Structure formats: structure tokens, C-alpha cells
Amino acid sequence: MKAILITYNQAYYDEIAAVLNANGVTGFTEWDEIKGHGSTTGEPHYGSHAWPTLNNAIISIVDDDKVDGILKQLHEKDLKAPGLGLRAFVWNVEGMI
């Protein structure tokens, strides 16, 4: 099993959810309205007057064989919409209850 943490501009929730659904992912946890600043070329997402946008984050635990497809589709979306501010991180899940 793998954990995938996806951070993105909150306006793109439907597109991110569509990628997960297309890959058979039915369970996830989402954090709404998180603040941050990623790469050196990205704009801050602080929810302030000067930087009004915010991010969301989703974490999902998926089977290993789903990871590559999910990452590929997310990468395609990121290339088409740089404003998405999309980042995805994957790590091993050692156990669950």
C-alpha cells in the first residue's frame, strides 16, 4: 500500500476528485483551506487580501499498482494548468488498522 498526498489550488477539487474516481479510489481524507507557498515560481496561497487563494490537500491510501496511473493523470493536469499548484507525494504505508 502507498499513501498519496495531493496538494492543489482549492478551485480544482472536482478535477482532482475525478482522477481519483477514474482510478477506483473511493476513500480519502481532505483538508480544506490550507495555506502555503511551494516552488520558487509559484504564487503564495495565504487566504489574505494580497494573496487570496487557498489550497486543499487530499491523502489517500491506495494499492501499489494504482500509483503510477494516478501520478500520470495528475502530471498531465499540472502541465495543462500551471495555476493548479499541484504537488503529489507518495510514501510506503507500513501498516493500517
- Residue entry with cell 487563494: 53
Residue 83 domain flag = yes
The number of CA neighbours under 13 Å toward the Cβ of 66 is 16
> Residue 13's pLDDT is what?
93
Predicted TM-score (pTM) of the model is: 0.90
Give the chain's domain count: 1
Q: List the domain range (segments joined by +) for residue 21.
A: 2-92
| Cβ pair 87, 7 in contact under 8 A | yes
Residue 97 domain flag = no
| Cβ pair 14, 74 in contact under 8 A | no
Residue 46 domain flag = yes
More confident: 55 or 45: 55
Residue 51 domain flag = yes
Residue 34 domain flag = yes
Residue 2's pLDDT band (cuts 50, 70, 90): very high
CATH at residue 69: 3.30.70.120
Residue 45 domain flag = yes
